[in-house]
Amino acid sequence: IEDKKFVVKGSTQTRILPPMLYLHFGGCVENMAEYLKGCSVSCKMSWEDLQSLCRGEKLYCEQLGVNRGSTNIYDVEFLCDYKKTKQEEFYLLKWKGFPESDNSWEPKRNLKCHKLIKQFHLDLDQQLRRHKRRSTPKKLDKEISSFLVQKAKLRQSLKRWEAHLNQTRNHPGRIFVANEVDLEGPPKNFTYINNYKVGQGIVLDEMAVGCECKNCLEEPINGCCPGASLHRMAYNDKGLVRIRPGQPIYECNSQCSCSSECPNRVVQKGIQVDLCIFKTENGRGWGVRTLQHIKKNTFIMEYVGEIITNEEAERRGHVYDCQGSTYLFDLDYVEDVYTVDAAHQGNISHFVNHSCNPNLQVFNVFINNIDERLPRIALFSTRAIRSGEELTFDYKMQIDPVDTESTKMDSSFNLAGLPGSPKKRIRVECRCGSDSCRKYLF
């Protein structure tokens, strides 16, 4: 392979690629052709090395930020080190699209990357405080400069993950990612999905009929979609939920005559507010906070994951217990048969933490599926939530049901399970910090 070059015929031209780029694409010419047309494949080279290789071979890639205009323009990717003489300050620069072996020291007066300089000193000040040092030294210790490089690379990886999440989501609300606590990057073995992924042997029964209303809120025909269960409309004219927790919500479906602007279509429109996945400071891992003010009784998000049987949930639950966490959510609206597992496939609800005094409440929702054993799990605000506040729900939520139990996390079923084999949960300490904290999640 080292002595060969591989030719890829594109729609407009033929490109000759070097061996290392061939290896990046897993030795598959078809993969290379697809990638050059805009598709992505798993990388076998680092992001920086691939940028450098593309620049050297005059290959332009929008995803890598390498184009005709940037091949001869040298952008600063991040700052690696700092030193100061009597005359001026210097920074060690990592050049975008070039390997770290090409890093170079440059005087501050030549730099125009003011945001990068500001971020560098914020990270530096944080490290100096941890080392109980008050002033910036003339030359940084190797330990501190190494941390700053890791922090810069982490910020880049989180930005790439953030971009991937926003490309994958199908809802209006944007997703942001931040970690100012440690060096943990994006979670491994997690795939963002927008809707339930149905497990083997499980079938969703599609709704065959819909309402004939023109104005479902003011002039419902035969009680509209909620009429089947003798419940009134779940939402007011502003889309805020107005029924008690425990009552099911029946939204208009794909077979209904009403428009997409019908006030009885809320959960199906997806997440509307901008949210941020952030690393918590008190050891609770990742969390989610809102970036906008939220009114009381507002729909926030669905709990999405893989639908599995309770038997499979029993098996997985023992594994998750040993890890000190669970993403199993029992669907127990009418019958405790199925469970939602969001451990490896889910949406932003995967990162929402528990609180004994939460600001989110669970509701069972039915839209296009008529199987009452498989409700969609919607989270609504229990009060007004200010911008920047963390979103939480109670993993062991207990409410006064109207005509059924509320859906709740698998962890609350400490006596449930297979016949003759009850689930034995490992007690997990609660760190929610609320005044009403029960001390343990399970």
Q: Is 430 labelled a binding residue?
A: yes
Q: Is 256 exposed, middle or buried (0-12, 13-18, 19+ CB in 10 A)?
A: buried
Q: Is 39 labelled a binding residue?
A: no
For 377, residues 6+ apart whose C-beta sits below 8 A from its C-beta are 302, 303, 329, 331, 340, 362, 363, 364, 365, 407
Q: Is 256 labelled a binding residue?
A: yes
Output the six-digit token pair for 37: 């047309």
Task: For the chain, give the number of residues.
Answer: 442
Q: Which amino acid is at 313?
A: A
118: three-class secondary structure by DSSP: helix
Q: Is 432 labelled a binding residue?
A: yes
Q: Which amino acid is at 50?
A: L
Q: Is 43 labelled a binding residue?
A: no
- Which DSSP symbol is given to 219? B
Q: Is 216 labelled a binding residue?
A: yes
Q: Is 54 labelled a binding residue?
A: no
Q: Which residues of 220-242 are buried (b: 16+ CB within 10 A; e: fewer)?
A: beebbbbeeeebebbbeeebbbe
* Cα angle 356-361-362, degrees, rounded to a multiple of 5: 115
Contact, 156 vs 125, CB < 8 A? no
Q: Is 211 labelled a binding residue?
A: yes
* Binding-site residues from annotation for Zn(2+): 211, 213, 216, 224-225, 252, 256, 258, 262, 356, 430, 432, 437
Binding site residue list:
211, 213, 216, 224-225, 252, 256, 258, 262, 356, 430, 432, 437
